[in-house]
Structure 1
Amino acid sequence: MNLNDRQRRFLFGGLVVLLTAIGLYLTFAAPEDEPGRPKARPSGTPTAGPPGPASPPPGIQNPVNPGQFDIYRLLPFNREEFAAAADLAQRFVAAYGTYRFDEAPETYATRLSGFVTDDLKAQLARDAATPGLLEERRQDQVVAQGSASLDQVRTIENNSIIFLVTGTQRVSEGTTESSDRKRYAVTVARDGGSLKIYSFEPADVGQAGDTG
């Protein structure tokens, strides 16, 4: 194809404009448009976090299988809480029945304080400091070693469990030894973020279950 001078000038100018445009594009193109570079996620699109724990189904909807029945699905206390409450009740009764004539009542009350609520702790401290009781134990040189057995669950409420616990004491009075057994109703209740002994009485007296 034969071009005159004017046509050649127009063609040359068009090529210059085209090459300039290509150069500007390559210079100012966004980095994410370059081949091989991953594109940035739009700032307005949140990333999905890990899925949360699945909530247990309400109650038991499937047919009950005696071999796989989980009673804790129906109780206000899970297995770990229930075991902790039972252990607390048993250890408390054993500690309650353990004392010596030659220890200060404050020592005895402090030993029990980790098991009980603040109100019950104050009551136990008053009982341990009863003058007549202290004098009798000192005169007879009483040493008692307590142990306890869990017998039964009496009541389960939303915030408390009442256990029937038998306390056994091996009592030494000077050179004389004997044993004594008493059964208590022990209420273990949620107290803040922990479990505490809320109250206890002889089992034949009974007591209210839930503490609120």
Structure 2
Amino acid sequence: MELSAGQRKAVFVLIVIVLAGLGFYLFTPIAHGTGRHPSSARSPSPRQTAATGTPAASAPVTTPAPTAAPTAAPGETGPPDIYQWLPFTQAGLDSAAAMVTRFGVAYGTFSYTQSAAAYVAPLRSMASPQLAGQISAAYVTPGVTALRVSQHQVSTGTASILSLRAFGPGSITFVVAVTERITSTNGTSQVSTDYAVTVTGGDTSWLVSDVELASAGNS
């Protein structure tokens, strides 16, 4: 059945709200159970046990009366499946996010002893051939290479997805913070840069096809 203009507007607003909720659920630590665990209840101390005057076993044991399980009101339905309005499944979104995170880690990891081919090798299974070639060319930029070698720079990369920026039938763009922890002749430093990273594909098969500074591209 074709939707009216008002219904289409309502669906669009719902999708926007859903994307914000998905971003919060997928990309915040709280959503993945990193919060503090509740503390266990304390056992009565020996002083408290003695104060009762009788052993705990002498108290009668009562069994709570069973309660009926709550039932749904007539006509009540569960929450809607929001993925019916999106061009990807939940498994597809999870797979794309995992690919982007792995790419960010490899992108921010390098050593002054590596050639361009060695640096790009881990990225080739995650990026399109065109993008891998662009990254390889950027890695050997004369000024950048000279600084990396002269300072003996070694970087360990980490990546964290900040938000979901855009999506289409065959692409999703994430904003990703890539952090480089660099050790060099100058000591240890840490640099974090936000990138807009686009993956293309579908279902659970994705490749990174574009990387830009978040402030400049992939909007």
Task: Tell me what 1:189 maps to.
Answer: 200
Distance 1:168 1:64 in 2: 47
Aligned with 1:117 (options 110, 128, 131): 128
Matches within 5 A, 1:58-97: 68-97=79-108
**Contact residue 101 and residue 160 of structure 2 kept, 8 A:** yes
TM-score by length of 2: 0.61
Deviations 1:74-110 (A, max 9, x none): 1111111111111111111111010001122210011
Aligned residues of 2:198 and 2:211 also touching (Cα < 8 A):
yes
Question: 3-state SS of the aligned residue for 1:106?
Answer: helix
- Residue 206 (structure 2) pairs with residue 204 (structure 1): no
Report the equivalent of 1:136.
147
Among the aligned pairs, what percent are the same residue? 30
Measure the CA separation in 1 of the matches of 2:76 and 2:83. 14
**Which residue, out of 163, 174, 179, partners 1:168?**
179
**SS at 1:102's partner residue?**
coil
Call closer, same or farther: CA 1:64–1:203 in 2, change over 3 Å: farther
Rounded to whole Å, the distance in 1 between the matches of 2:171 and 2:76 is 27
- Contact 2:160/2:176 (<8 A) preserved: yes
TM-score, normalised relative to structure 1:
0.63
Larger gyration radius, structure 1 or structure 2:
1
Unaligned ranges ≥5, structure 1 = 1-58
- In structure 1, how many angstroms separate the alpha carbons of the residues matched to 2:193 and 2:76? 39
Q: Number of residue pairs matched?
A: 146
For 1:143 and 1:70, locate their aligned partners in 2 and report how far apart those are by CA, in whole Å.
46
Please, which runs of 5 or more residues in structure 2 have no aligned partner?
A: 1-10, 12-74
CA RMSD of aligned residues (A): 2.3
1:194 CA drift (Å):
3.1
Instruction: Look up the SS of the partner of 1:153 in the other structure.
Output: strand
Shift of 1:206: 2.3
After TM superposition, what 4+ stretches of structure 1 lie above 3 angstroms from structure 2? none
- Residue identity matched to 1:164: V
Specify the code of the residue in structure 2 equivalent to 1:93: G
Where relative contact order (Cα < 8 A, 6+ residues apart) is larger, the structure is: 2
In 2: Cα distance, 1:87 partner to 1:118 partner: 20
